[in-house]
Amino acid sequence: MDELVALCKRRGFIFQSNEIYGGLQGVYDYGPLGVELKNNLKNSWWKSIVYNRDDVEGIDTSILTHPDVLKYSGHEDTFTDPLVDCKSCGLRFREDQIPEQCIGEELTEPREFNLMFKTNVGPVVDDSSHAYLRPETAQQIYINFKNIVDSTSRSLPFGIAQIGKSFRNEITPRNFIFRVREFEQMELEFFVSPGEDEAWHKKWIENRVKWWVTQGIPNEKLKLLEVTGKDLAHYSKSTVDIMYSFPHGMEELEGIANRTDFDLGSHTKNQKDLKINAKVMDNKDSNTRLAIQNQDKEWIVPYVIEPSAGVDRGVLAVINEAFTIENLEENKKRTVLRFKKHLSPIKAAVIPLKRNNDDLVSLAHSVKSSLQKYQIGRVVVENTGNIGKSYRKHDEIGTPLCITIDFDSLDSNTITIRDRDSMRQTTISIDNVQQYFLDYYSNESA
């Protein structure tokens, strides 16, 4: 993990947030390469969940959330972790995450600590103006259910997908971007008829594992864990977590829950007129019926299957898998990020042999523009004048193709393309470079 963190900072993937003022714990910034990697991962999810299917719509909802949403969802009462203090050193932590220095010391009785961030909306700061930063993106999807059904004429089964920020005041943020206070989620709420929920739950578990494999996570590093007992959320009939072997241990990458009719049932008006199976709080505030008519024109409250993945945990997992140190001849080492090509932050680096030769540099810029126009991802000109150093840098940040412009490019119209993984170099005519680039990026799976 330490090597990963150092590489992420050195090369501009991820920085500690607010660092010049001492940093804010549990908050990170994504640098020039980090933002590309993160966007590529999110785009791949969106393609797989929205574009490649015919039964899912997208949405982008507000982060600021009305307190009633989180009252009826149960978050105000139950979104808590047990907090304890060490009587010897005064440190505060989660009861199930005792730091090494406090093991064996006397601890206070655990008390429940709510993880939601509260804020105020408008110029008056009192209880009447309070709102929350959402702790998950899902709730705003449920409360938009009728808007989506009315505007798209969807019938069951169908889903609503969202990618966005969530906030949790974690008691002990740790393990780099694994457990943070501000993070992004990729969530799908998939609405099905009661009775079809278990079959859909299974399908989504299989679908999601396959997707992680296409991101470069080997199947054998993933495990499915059936959540049981007190770890099972109050709304869930069954939850399966996709666990991944992170550098610090086997932990949750994504959760896939069968949330029954709890969510729509909690937020709907006229609860008594609908046959809601889940145990929900009496709702006197909602002004909307969150139900749908089945083929017999009966109003039913759909069940929800929810695959919910963390973007930041995904980024950590794909960097961890890509990170390789290879032994070369003469005791030399090569650090390579072997990202799947659709995830690589830079798609190609165009490198003029000499930085102060106008003809080479200008040709490099024109090759870059000819590739950039396809908008497959970022293409850069690497104008350091040192080919060896440029290759090392682009290996370390996972650039699949390095394209060298040398004097043969000027004299005989050829360029050399070096492949990141095999380090093989191929010389082709400049006229064919666009086709080479397009072919290279067209045969990818994600």
Q: Counting contacts by CB under 6 A, is residue 57 touching ligand ATP?
A: no
Where would I find the beta strands (DSSP E) of 247-317?
249-260, 292-293, 299-300, 303-310
Q: How far is the CB of 138 from ligand ATP (least distance, A)?
A: 9
Pick 183 or 190: Cβ nearer ligand ATP:
183
Q: How many C-beta atoms lie closer than 10 Å to residue 26's C-beta?
A: 19
Residue 393 burial by CB count (10 A; 0-12/13-18/19+): exposed, middle or buried? middle
* Nearest residue to 199 (alpha-carbon basis) of 292, 305, 275: 305
Pick 34 or 400: Cβ nearer ligand ATP:
34
Q: Counting contacts by CB under 6 A, is residue 185 touching ligand ATP?
A: yes
Q: How far is the CB of 312 from ligand ATP (least distance, A)?
A: 5
Binding mask 401-430 for ligand ATP (x = CB under 6 A): ------------------------------
Q: How far is the CB of 253 from ligand ATP (least distance, A)?
A: 6
Binders of ligand ATP among 139-178, rule CB under 6 A? 168, 170
Q: Counting contacts by CB under 6 A, is residue 306 touching ligand ATP?
A: no
Binding mask 247-266 for ligand ATP (x = CB under 6 A): -----xxxx-----------
Q: Counting contacts by CB under 6 A, is residue 304 touching ligand ATP?
A: no
Tell me which amino acid residue 285 is.
D
* Nearest residue to 57 (alpha-carbon basis) of 138, 139, 162: 162
Pick 178 or 191: Cβ nearer ligand ATP:
178
CA 287 remoteness from chain centre:
33
Structure tokens at 278: 């889940």
Pick 170 or 197: Cβ nearer ligand ATP:
170
- Rounded to the nearest 10 degrees, how much is the dihedral formed by the CA atoms of 33, 38, 39, 40? 90
By three-state DSSP, how is residue 374 classified?
coil
Q: Which of 11, 134, 179, 378 binds ligand ATP (CB under 6 A)?
A: 179
Residue whose tokens read 């969807």: 154
Q: How far is CA 121 from CA 66, 68, 124, in A?
A: 10, 14, 8
Contact criterion met (CB below 8 Å) for 217 and 206: no
Query: Distance between CA 63 and CA 57 in Å, rounded?
Result: 19
Q: How far is the CB of 75 from ligand ATP (least distance, A)?
A: 11
Q: Counting contacts by CB under 6 A, is residue 313 touching ligand ATP?
A: yes
Pick 75 or 378: Cβ nearer ligand ATP:
75
Q: How far is the CB of 209 from ligand ATP (least distance, A)?
A: 14
Pick 138 or 276: Cβ nearer ligand ATP:
138
Q: Counting contacts by CB under 6 A, is residue 308 touching ligand ATP?
A: yes
Q: How far is the CB of 63 from ligand ATP (least distance, A)?
A: 15
Q: How far is the CB of 193 from ligand ATP (least distance, A)?
A: 24
Query: Distance between CA 183 and CA 312 in Å, rounded?
Result: 6
Pick 13 or 436: Cβ nearer ligand ATP:
13
Query: Distance between CA 155 and CA 291 in Å, rounded?
Result: 11
* Nearest residue to 308 (alpha-carbon basis) of 271, 253, 353: 253
Tell me which amino acid residue 314 is.
G
DSSP category for residue 273: G
Tell me which amino acid residue 225 is.
L
Structure tokens at 19: 């660092």
Query: Distance between CA 437 and CA 417 in Å, rounded?
Result: 10
Pick 180 or 376: Cβ nearer ligand ATP:
180
Pick 114 or 308: Cβ nearer ligand ATP:
308
Q: Counting contacts by CB under 6 A, is residue 307 touching ligand ATP?
A: no
Query: Distance between CA 395 and CA 399 in Å, rounded?
Result: 6
Binding residues for ligand ATP, rule CB under 6 A, total 16
Query: Going by DSSP bridges, is the β-strand pair 346-352/401-405 parallel, antiparallel, or unpaired?
Result: parallel
Pick 236 or 286: Cβ nearer ligand ATP:
236
Binding mask 351-390 for ligand ATP (x = CB under 6 A): ----------------------------------------
Q: Counting contacts by CB under 6 A, is residue 183 touching ligand ATP?
A: yes
Structure tokens at 286: 């909602």
Pick 36 or 312: Cβ nearer ligand ATP:
312
Which residue, judged by CB position, is nearest to ligand ATP in the bound state? 310
Q: Where does this chain bind ligand ATP (CB under 6 A)?
A: 136, 168, 170, 179-180, 183, 185, 252-255, 308-310, 312-313
